[in-house]
């Protein structure tokens, strides 16, 4: 029978370096949603249902979000696209399940109950999920891996190059290490 160990069983060279990773559920920014989408597998591959609309053309997960434009984007390894925020536009992001992107969000809305709250997580990585980002929530993403990654995103207004509803903040406003892979 195996005898359990404790911290006192670990050598002095390593004892003070022991830590426990935090697996608790992180706090969400007000209004941000990660929506698990149906994904089906068979012998030939997989199928993910990204958006399902009702008979009036409303997205069933968020009926008040009206899709006005859909865009595809590919990011090469090492690219960081951050931070952006919109005064009017809302986004829904979908990262291909076979890709992965490091997502960064923070609440820039001064009157929000989650003002300054940050979120950092991975989308894709074998999951089919949609990410809803309300206006005023600063958002960015990074491809910190070795292969290109792809996304499709949906917005509730058309892009206008003459008057873009796209404000920029520095990519490292939360610190350059925000975008680094956590080791350990």
| Full DSSP string of 119-159 | EEEEEETT--EEEEE-TTEEEEEE--SSS-EEEEEEESS--
Q: What is the pLDDT of residue 125?
A: 95
Average pLDDT in the 178-184 region?
87
Average pLDDT in the 146-171 region?
95
Residue 127 lies in a domain: yes
Q: Taken in order 109, 114, 119, 124, is the CA torsion positive or negative? A: negative
Q: What is the pLDDT of residue 172?
A: 96
Residue 20 lies in a domain: no
Residue 46 lies in a domain: yes
Residue 96 lies in a domain: yes
Distance of CA 67 to the CA centre of its chain: 19
User: Domain of 77: which CATH number?
Assistant: 2.60.120.10
Residue 7 lies in a domain: no
- For the chain, the domain total comes to 1
Q: Residue 184: is its pLDDT beyond 80?
A: no
Residue 109 lies in a domain: yes
The range of the structural domain enclosing residue 140 comes to 26-159
Q: Residue 57: is its pLDDT beyond 90?
A: no
Residue 53 lies in a domain: yes
- Segment 98-147, tens digit of pLDDT: 999 999 999 999 999 999 999 999 999 999 999 999 999 999 999 999 99
Q: What is the pLDDT of residue 48?
A: 93
Average pLDDT in the 48-70 region?
92
Residue 1 lies in a domain: no
Q: Residue 6: is its pLDDT beyond 90?
A: no
Instruction: State the residue for tokens 């030939």.
Output: 44
How many angstroms separate the CA atoms of 72 and 84, rounded? Answer: 17
Q: Residue 16: is its pLDDT beyond 90?
A: no
């Amino acid at each position: 029978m195996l005898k359990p160990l404790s911290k006192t069983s670990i050598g002095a060279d390593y004892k003070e370096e022991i830590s426990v990773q935090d697996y608790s559920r992180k706090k969400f920014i007000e209004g941000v949603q990660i929506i698990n989408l149906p994904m089906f597998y068979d012998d030939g591959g997989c199928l993910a249902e990204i958006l399902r609309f009702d008979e009036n053309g409303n997205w069933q997960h968020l009926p008040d979000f009206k899709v006005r434009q859909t865009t595809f984007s590919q990011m090469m390894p090492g690219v960081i696209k951050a931070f952006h925020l919109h005064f009017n536009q809302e986004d829904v992001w979908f990262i291909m399940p076979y890709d992965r992107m490091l997502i960064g969000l923070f609440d820039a809305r001064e009157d929000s109950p989650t003002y300054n709250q940050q979120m950092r997580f991975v989308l894709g990585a074998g999951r089919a999920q949609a990410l809803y980002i309300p206006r005023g929530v600063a958002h960015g993403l990074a491809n910190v891996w070795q292969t290109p990654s792809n996304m499709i995103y949906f917005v509730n207004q058309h892009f206008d190059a003459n008057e873009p509803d796209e404000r920029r903040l520095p990519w490292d406003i939360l610190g350059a290490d925000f975008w680094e892979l956590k080791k350990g």
